[in-house]
Every structure is written in C-alpha cells, then in structure tokens.
Amino acid sequence: MSLFRKKSIEDILKNAENESHHGSLAKHLGVRDLTAFGIAAIIGAGIFSTIGKASADGGPGVIFLFIFTALACSFAAFAYAEFASLIPVSGSAYTYSYVAFGELFAWIIGWALIMEYAIGNVTVAISWSDYFTSLISSSSQYQVNEWLCLDYFTAKHNYGEVSGLLASGSTLESIRASNETKGLVEGFLAWGSAPQLFGMRIIFDMPALIINVLITILVYRGIKESRNASNAMVLIKIVVVLLVIFVGAFFIDTKNWDPFMPNGVGGLLKGISAVFFAYIGFDAISTTAEECRNPQRDLPRGILYSIIICTVLYVAIALVITGMVHYSELAGNADPLAYVFEKVKSVSWLSSVIAASAVVAMASVMLVFQLGQPRIWMSMSRDGLLPKRFAKIHPKYKTPSFSTIVTGLLVAIPIFFVDINMVTDICSAGTLFAFCLVCGGVLKLRMDPTAPPSKFKTPYVNSKFIVPAMFILTIILLFVTEEGKAILQYYTTFESFSAFLSKIPVYSFIIGFAVFAVMAFRFSFSLIPSLGLICCFYMLSQLGPKNWLYFMVWLIIGLVIYFIYGRSHSKLAKKD
C-alpha cells in the first residue's frame, strides 16, 4: 500500500541534492553552534518558570525526575544522533519515520512536530511576555495594562473565579495574598479594565505578539544571523545561571531538604509534564542538518553535549531553590528564581538580573523552535505532502521563506485565546510521541541488513534478557512494595466509567511494555534505543487522559488533511 511505502535513504539524499540546485540552504553551522542551539532551546521556560511547579509538587527530590527525564531524552538523543548522521537532511523525525515506517507515519510525525515547534512556541511567547512585563513594572515607572498581556479566555475565566470569591466574602487583597489564587487577579483586572468594541472586550497579549514578529523576522533573514543571535543569548543565560548557582549556594538551609521527597513518587510524577517540557528542543538541532558544514560528525555531538550541560545546570538550580526556600513556597510562582532571591535582602538585586536573563533565555528558545518548524515543512513539501510553496528558498537569505512566515502566523494566532497550561501538556505529548517513533525507527533500521552504515552508531548492548527482566521486575514491585500495592489498587479500582477511561493511558503503557519485552527477546533489540522508547512511552502515559484526548483530536485533524491533500500529491504515491 502506498500509505506505508518507505523512502530509501539514497532517494532522500538525492532529492535533497536536486532541490539544492533550485536554491540551497547556507552552510554556516559547526559543533559549537549546534551545541549552543541545543542549550538555547532547552534552557528557557523550564529553568525560569516550570521548575517552580515541579519543585512544589515533588520537593527537593525533583532532581531525580530531572535526571530520569535527562536519561530518557539522552536515550532518544542517541537515536536522533544516529539518524542525523545517516540522513543529514532537514526533516528530523519526519524524515527518519519515512525511512523506518513509511509515509503515513511520516505524516503523523510531521503533524505532531507542529505541536512541538509552532504550538510549543505559543507557550514560550506567553512566558516571555510574563517575564518582560514583570521586568518593566519592577525596573521602571511604566506598567503594561493587564488587558494587553493576557489572552481573552484566561481573562474571562479568571474574572469569573475572582467574582465568585468576592461574592463569598473574600477581599481582593486576600485573594492576591494567597499562593493558590493570586494568579487569578491579573485576569480579573484585565477583564474589568479592557476597552470594548461592539460589545466585545479587547484583550490580547501584545508583548507575546511583538516578540513572535521579531523572532520570525530574524529567522527569515538567515541562519548566520540566527546563529550569531543564539550564541550571544546562550552566553548571557549560562553566565546568569552559573551566578545564581554560585550565589544561591551560600544561602542554602539544608533543613529545607527534609523531607527530600515529601509527596513520594506520586508527587514527583505530577511534575513530569513540566520537567519534560524543560528538555524539549534538543531535537530541533537535527532540522538544521542541511546548514551544517559537517552534519555527520557535528550533529550527534551537538545533541548530546547540549543535554549533558543542561542536565547539570537543572539539577544544580533545583537544589539551590529548594534549599533557599521551603518547596511549598514555590507553588503558583511563575518566576521561582526571582522569587527566592527577593527573599534574601542582601542579594535581592539578583532577582532583577534573573528577570532580565529570563527574557533573553526565552527569546532564544523561540528562535530555535522558529528555525525548526519551517524546515520540517520544507521537507514535507519536497515529498509532495504539502504545497510546493512550503519548500521555496529565499534567493537572497537562503531560508525557507514562505514556511517561516506561516510558522510565525501559526504562533501568533493562538496567542489571542490559548491557555498556556493546555499548550504545555499537548506540546509534551506530541514531542514524546515523536521520540518514541525515532527510537523505534532505529530499532527497525537495525533489523534491515540492507541499511547503509552510519558514521555515528549507538553502542549496541543486547536487550534480549534485560528488557523482559525489567518488565517482570516492574510487575513484582507492584505486588510486593507498599507503594506498588497502592498504585495497583488505584489503577484497578473503578468508581465510574470516566475513571476507567482516565486510566487507559497507563493500561496502554503496561500492555505496550509487555509486547515490547517479547519483541526485544525475539529480535535482540539494542538496549539504548529500547530504553528510550520505554521511558518516553512511560512519560507519555503519565500526561493524563485529557492530554491524550487533545493529542488524538490533533492527529485526527492531521489525518483528514493528509487524505484530502497529502496522499494524492505524494511523490511516492504518484510512482505507484
């Protein structure tokens, strides 16, 4: 069937070479630039914002979640590095899936990556806006009006929540003083003060829109300009992060680390979406393959170096902030780093430096994501799955110009109405799904004796007995340990049909793990990509049923587009 027809590596490389005659991308990137792009993508909202939520849920023990997530991402990174070395083109996971699983899976991954890069940038733009407006109000006499720094539906919801609290006898001051409700006040004020046009309140996040336009222009102008901007921003934020770690270490009270895991494993897992979101972006490096001077050598190094550096920084930051204040104080804090240093009067000046560096850090994340999405679309267009305009290369700037503009619009429009928390979760779902398929793709490629050798190959360790043993041990722990029994009871108790539906993601993981254990035993899979697939599938199962529902709806929309346009225009389908 044409739906599952694969592209050979030779055809992909030949197609990319033919396309380059019509307008090639400029080759300016080396291993340092790629590592900087990886750090630029990873160190952003995670270290300056979502680390607070994860620490509040898991306590100081959140470092274990960072380490586990880093290991899972590292396993997936090995798979990305092997594919990037074997197929040095801009398609990233989309192209890798085309080789391993065929056209339908390639389209699904390409569609899922829109959630990671374009939709994920909505979250980053909104977080950037929060830090920017806070910096403006704290460092000057100016203040951005509430209705110009929030989306419409969040403002409407928060207005209703606060109105209900006021009606029940609370005061605005008491609502603002509570960690649980203080985040609602901005929306309440925005809704109440917003101007109206034809009875419709005008509420939108102006700073988020502005930074999106500026980043889009920079990416449109060229990879060299983007590289220079990224390198400068990475240098600034690494210096600030190291300063925070060094200064904060002198104000750690080890009593705040007791208990180290106050809410147990369950508390840690509540932060899995926030922690994984902190690592999203390293895979975007692979979309710049055609702009690398030596992609087979430099792409694997850039991917792995960036993960290692960022993990060390994440763990150190988590220990510092949970040591400086009690973890419970971090609940509801959008800017946890600035908060902990505001409490120490002698170094309170550092909170302003952190706020300024957060603005730079999140801009760099947007830059890398905005680079990645157009290059995915360019690759899909080359294969006929999208209109030819998406593959158009600007004659002067040597960038996928039309795709870059569309990406900017795709980020700008949701800023008006999207809830940042929902975007974070579905973005994580799309990324984890891509990671699973890339890891699975490496395993499938290893089973093909005709596959060409890669210049970078993941070290082979036979998982024939290891993966089945891991599955058996997991089942034993569920029945033997107290925490395992509690988990087992929770997932085997059904209060209602909706409760049963909410547990389907975990059931899917257990069944999938069992099937994969049998396959690993039968085919002697390589251990590292196997662990990557298992870990990423596990984290996907922990995102919750609502996120799975959002993700499934997104995939269904994508499949409709594929069957209406992509399937009939595919170059492979036309050959059949």
Residues 404 and 470 in one domain: no
User: Looking at the structure, do residues 165 and 274 belong to the same domain, yes or no?
Assistant: no
Residue where a domain stops, chosen among 366, 393, 423: 423
Residue 59: Cβ-neighbour burial (10 angstroms; 0-12, 13-18, 19+): buried
Is residue 333 scored above 70 in pLDDT? no
488 and 545 assigned to the same domain: yes
Residue 384 has pLDDT above 90, yes or no: no
List the one residue out of 64, 13, 86 whose CA is nearest residue 455: 86
In one-letter notation, the amino acid at residue 386 is L
For residue 159, pLDDT over 70 is answered with yes
Same domain, 563 and 515: yes
Residues 188 and 219 in one domain: no
Lowest-confidence region among 245-259, 342-356, 519-533:
342-356
Residue 575: pLDDT band with limits 50, 70, 90: low
Q: How far is CA 540 from the centre of its chain?
A: 12
Task: Look at residue 192 in the predicted model and tell me its pLDDT.
Answer: 83
Does one domain contain both 164 and 229?
no
Quote the Cα angle for 376-380-386, to 5°.
Answer: 120
Q: How confident is the model at residue 515 (pLDDT cuts 50, 70, 90)?
A: very high
Q: Same structural domain for residues 379 and 513? A: no
Taking the C-alpha atoms of residue 456 and residue 1, their distance in angstroms, rounded to an integer, is: 32
Structural domain harbouring 81: 27-91+121-138+208-423
In this prediction, residue 467 carries a pLDDT of 94
First to last CA, the chain: 9
Boundary-marking domain end, from 388, 423, 458: 423
Query: Are residue 390 and residue 488 in the same domain, yes or no?
Result: no
Q: Residue 296's pLDDT is what?
A: 77
Residue 549 lies in a domain: yes
Is 576's pLDDT higher than 60? no
**Contact residues for 503 (Cβ-Cβ < 8 A; gap 6+):** 491, 494, 545
Would 147 be classed as within a structural domain? no
Q: Per the domain annotation, does 165 fall within a domain? A: yes
* Count of other CB atoms within 10 angstroms of residue 168: 7
Q: Which two tokens stand for residue 124?
A: 């980053």
Q: Is it the case that residue 416 has pLDDT exceeding 70? A: yes
185 and 229 fall within a common domain:
no
Both tokens of residue 471?
A: 């599955």
What CATH number did the domain enclosing 283 receive? 1.20.1740.10
Residue type at 363 in one-letter notation:
A
**Over residues 440-450, mean pLDDT:** 82
Q: Confirm if 3 and 559 have CB atoms less than 8 A apart.
A: no
Distance CA 136, CA 131 (A): 9
What is the total count of domains within the chain? 3
Q: How far lies 203's CA from each of 145, 151, 188, in Å?
A: 10, 6, 12
Q: Answer yes or no: is 287 within a domain.
A: yes
Two tokens, residue 307: 């993960």
Q: Residue 526: beta bridge partners?
A: 462
Same structural domain, 194 and 213: no
Same domain, 408 and 497: no
pLDDT score of 141 more than 60: yes
Most confidently modeled range among 20-29, 156-165, 249-258, 398-407: 398-407
Last residue of a domain, one of 368, 397, 423: 423
pLDDT of residue 519: 94
| pLDDT, average across residues 415-444 | 77
Question: Do the beta carbons of residue 363 and residue 128 sit within 8 Å?
Answer: yes
pTM of the model: 0.80
In sequence order, the β-bridge partners of residue 462 are 526
**Whether residue 246 sits in one domain with residue 195:** no
pLDDT higher than threshold 80 for residue 110: yes
Cβ partners under 8 Å of residue 550, min gap 6: 422, 425, 426, 429
